Chains A and B, each alone.
Chain A
Amino acid sequence: MKDFVIPWGDDRDLGTPPSRSETMVTLTIDGFEVTVPEGTSIMRAAALADIQIPKLCATDSMEAFGSCRLCVVEIEGRRGTPASCTTPVAEGMVVHTQGEKTRRIRKGVMELYISDHPLDCLTCAANGDCELQDMAGMVGLRNVRYEPGRNHYDPGNGTLAAGDLRARGAGGDAGNPLYIPRDDSNPYFSYDPQKCIVCSRCVRACEEVQGTFALTIEGRGFDSRVSAGIAGDNFLTSDCVSCGACVQACPTATLQEKSIAELGTPTRSVITTCAYCGVGCSFKAELNGDQLVRMTPYRHGKANHGHSCVKGRFAYGYASHKDRILKPMIRDSIDQPWQEVSWEEALTFAATRLRSLQETYGRKSIGVITSSRCTNEETYLVQKLARAVFGNNNTDTCARVCHSPTGYGLGQAFGTSAGTQDFDSIDHSDVIVVIGANPTDAHPVFGSRMKKRIREGAKLIVIDPRRIDLVKSPHVRATHHLPLRPGTNVAVVSALAHVIVTEGLYNEAFIRERCDWDEFQDYAEFIAAPRHSPEATASLTGVDPEELRSAARLYATGGNGAIYYGLGVTEHSQGSTTVMGIANLAMLTGNIGREGVGVNPLRGQNNVQGSCDMGSFPHELPGYRHVGNADARAIYEDLWGVSLDGEPGLRINNMLDAAIAGTFRGLYCQGEDILQSDPDTRHVAAGLAAMDCVIVHDIFLNETANYAHVFLPGSTFLEKDGTFTNAERRINRVRKVMEPRNGYADWEVTQLLANAMGANWTYTHPAQIMAEIAATTPSFAGVTYELLEEVGSVQWPCNEKTPLGTPTMHVDGFVRGKGRFIVTEYVATDERTGPRFPLLLTTGRILSQYNVGAQTRRTDNVIWHDEDLLEIHPHDAEIRGVKDGDWVKVASRAGETSLRAKVTDRVAPGVVYTTFHHPDTQANVITTDYSDWATNCPEYKVTAVQVSLSNGPTDWQEEYAAQAELSRRILPAAE
Chain B
Amino acid sequence: MQAVQPAPSADDIQSLIEQHLHLEGPLLPILHSIQETFGHVPQAAIPLVADALNISKAEVHGVMSFYHDLRDAPAGRHVVRICRAEACQAAGADAVSAAALDRLGLDWHGTTPNGSVTVEPVYCLGLCACAPAAMIDDRLHGRVDAARMQDLLKEVGA
Distance between B134 CB and nearest chain A CB, rounded to angstroms: 23
**1/0 contact string of A888-919 vs chain B (CB within 8 Å):** 00000000000000000000000000000000
Does A218 lie within 8 Å of B55, measured CB to CB?
no
**Which positions 39-93 of chain B face chain A at CB distance < 8 Å?**
43, 46, 50, 54-62, 65-66, 72
A524 proximal to B (CB < 8 A): no
Interface size class of B (residues with CB under 8 A): 10 to 19
Distance between B137 CB and nearest chain A CB, rounded to angstroms: 25
Residues of B within 8 A of A232 (CB): 43
Q: Which of A397-405, A470-478, A926-934 contacts B (4 or more CB under 8 A)?
A: A470-478
Residues of B within 8 A of A219 (CB): 65-66
Closest chain A residue to B60, Cβ basis: A230
Residues of B within 8 A of A238 (CB): 57-58
CA distance A214 to B62 in the complex (A): 11
Does A227 lie within 8 Å of B50, measured CB to CB?
no
A639 proximal to B (CB < 8 A): no
Does B66 lie within 8 Å of A214, measured CB to CB?
no
Checking B56, B59, B66, B107 against A220 with a beta-carbon cut-off of 8 angstroms, the contacting residue is: B66
Distance between A968 CB and nearest chain B CB, rounded to angstroms: 44
Residues of B within 8 A of A218 (CB): 61-62, 65-66
**Given that A220-B66, A230-B46 are contacting pairs, would A472 and B54 also be in contact in the complex, using a CB cutoff of 8 Å?**
yes
Residues of B within 8 A of A217 (CB): 62
Residues of A within 8 A of B43 (CB): 230-232
Does B59 lie within 8 Å of A474, measured CB to CB?
yes
CA distance A592 to B41 in the complex (A): 51
**Given that A230-B46, A231-B43, A474-B50 are contacting pairs, would A216 and B61 also be in contact in the complex, using a CB cutoff of 8 Å?**
yes
A213 proximal to B (CB < 8 A): yes
Does B57 lie within 8 Å of A229, measured CB to CB?
yes
A254 proximal to B (CB < 8 A): no
Does A213 lie within 8 Å of B58, measured CB to CB?
yes
Does A212 lie within 8 Å of B56, measured CB to CB?
yes
CA distance A218 to B63 in the complex (A): 8
Residues of B within 8 A of A229 (CB): 57-58, 61
Q: Is the interface of B mostly helix, strand, loop or mixed?
A: helix
Count, A-B residue pairs, CB within 8 A: 58
CA distance A111 to B58 in the complex (A): 31
Checking A159, A216, A473, A477 against B59 with a beta-carbon cut-off of 8 angstroms, the contacting residue is: A216
Closest chain A residue to B54, Cβ basis: A477
Does A474 lie within 8 Å of B66, measured CB to CB?
no
A239 proximal to B (CB < 8 A): yes
Distance between A477 CB and nearest chain B CB, rounded to angstroms: 6
Does A231 lie within 8 Å of B61, measured CB to CB?
yes
Does B66 lie within 8 Å of A230, measured CB to CB?
no
CA distance A475 to B51 in the complex (A): 10
Residues of A within 8 A of B62 (CB): 216-218, 227
Interface size class of A (residues with CB under 8 A): 20 to 34
Residues of B within 8 A of A472 (CB): 54
CA distance A472 to B53 in the complex (A): 11
CA distance A474 to B52 in the complex (A): 10
**Which positions 464-487 of chain A face chain B at CB distance < 8 Å?**
472-477
Checking A213, A231, A239 against B72 with a beta-carbon cut-off of 8 angstroms, the contacting residue is: A231
A196 proximal to B (CB < 8 A): no
Residues of A within 8 A of B65 (CB): 218-220, 227, 231
CA distance A473 to B58 in the complex (A): 13
CA distance A229 to B46 in the complex (A): 10
CA distance A216 to B57 in the complex (A): 9
**Given that A230-B46, A231-B72 are contacting pairs, would A474 and B55 also be in contact in the complex, using a CB cutoff of 8 Å?**
yes
Residues of A within 8 A of B58 (CB): 213-216, 227-230, 238-239
Residues of B within 8 A of A215 (CB): 58
Does A239 lie within 8 Å of B56, measured CB to CB?
yes
**Which positions 107-148 of chain B face chain A at CB distance < 8 Å?**
107
Closest chain A residue to B72, Cβ basis: A231
Q: Which of A231, A232, A477 has the most CB of B within 10 A?
A: A231
**1/0 contact string of A167-211 vs chain B (CB within 8 Å):** 000000000000000000000000000000000000000000000
Does B55 lie within 8 Å of A475, measured CB to CB?
yes
Distance between A118 CB and nearest chain B CB, rounded to angstroms: 24
Does A213 lie within 8 Å of B59, measured CB to CB?
yes
Does B54 lie within 8 Å of A214, measured CB to CB?
no
CA distance A217 to B64 in the complex (A): 11
CA distance A525 to B5 in the complex (A): 67
Closest chain A residue to B62, Cβ basis: A216
Does A474 lie within 8 Å of B61, measured CB to CB?
no
Residues of A within 8 A of B55 (CB): 213, 474-475
Q: Which of A213, A219, A228, A472 has the most CB of B within 10 A?
A: A213
**Which positions 706-756 of chain A face chain B at CB distance < 8 Å?**
none
Residues of B within 8 A of A474 (CB): 50, 54-56, 59
CA distance A631 to B41 in the complex (A): 75
Does B61 lie within 8 Å of A227, measured CB to CB?
yes
CA distance A476 to B55 in the complex (A): 9
**Which positions 261-318 of chain A face chain B at CB distance < 8 Å?**
none
CA distance A238 to B46 in the complex (A): 13
Closest chain B residue to A223, Cβ basis: B65
CA distance A159 to B55 in the complex (A): 36
Extra A-B contacts (5), CB below 8 Å, given A214-B58, A215-B58, A228-B58: A216-B58, A219-B65, A220-B65, A231-B72, A474-B54
The list of the 4 closest CB pairs from A to B, nearest first, reads: A216-B62, A213-B56, A474-B56, A216-B58
- Could you tell me which A residues sit within 8 Å of B by CB distance? 159, 212-220, 227-232, 238-239, 472-477
What are some 17 contacts across the A-B interface (CB < 8 A)? A159-B107, A213-B55, A214-B56, A214-B58, A216-B58, A216-B62, A217-B62, A218-B61, A227-B61, A227-B62, A229-B58, A231-B65, A232-B43, A238-B57, A474-B54, A474-B56, A475-B54
